[in-house]
Amino acid sequence: MTQYFLTMPHDSADEPTMESMQAMDPAELAAVMAAVDEFNTALVESGAFRFAGGLHPPSTAKTVDASGAEPRVLDEPFVEAPLYVGGFWVIEAADEATAVEWATRASRAVQTPIEVRALQEEPEA
């Protein structure tokens, strides 16, 4: 079985957080949270769930560069982009088609596109 990284984008202009989500229409927020909970439950019950998490906004990022003589720590993301990863799931699936099915369900739950990428596997010895 291959592990897949399902990522959910956040618009860097809005930088949604759990606090800013409170500004959403309460009924809409409740519906999204219920859909995400239902999705997460289905992942766990199927055995596909490995772990998941939400990220703080990119404005909180630190970039560490120790490739030169002296390490540098920058208070910024390592790349400027119109979208950033806001949250993710790591799942296990038999094939890419199955991972895409889970991503489709995730996209419906969170009402945003979901990117699917396989994690690299260790080479066989």
DSSP designation for 95: S
Residue 13 near residue 100, CB atoms below 8 Å: no
> Cα–Cα distance between 100 and 117 in angstroms, integer?
10
Residues 91-116, mean pLDDT to the nearest whole number: 96
**What pLDDT score does 39 carry?**
96
**What pLDDT score does 78 carry?**
82
**DSSP conformation letters of 21-50:** GGGS-HHHHHHHHHHHHHHHHHHHHHT-EE
DSSP designation for 61: -
Residues 106-111, mean pLDDT to the nearest whole number: 94
- pTM for the complete prediction? 0.83
> Cα–Cα distance between 102 and 111 in angstroms, integer?
14
Length of the chain: 125
Residue 12 has pLDDT above 70, yes or no: no
**What pLDDT score does 59 carry?**
84
* Pick from 42-46, 52-56, 92-96: least confident: 52-56
At residue 26 the predicted structure's pLDDT band, cuts being 50, 70 and 90, is confident
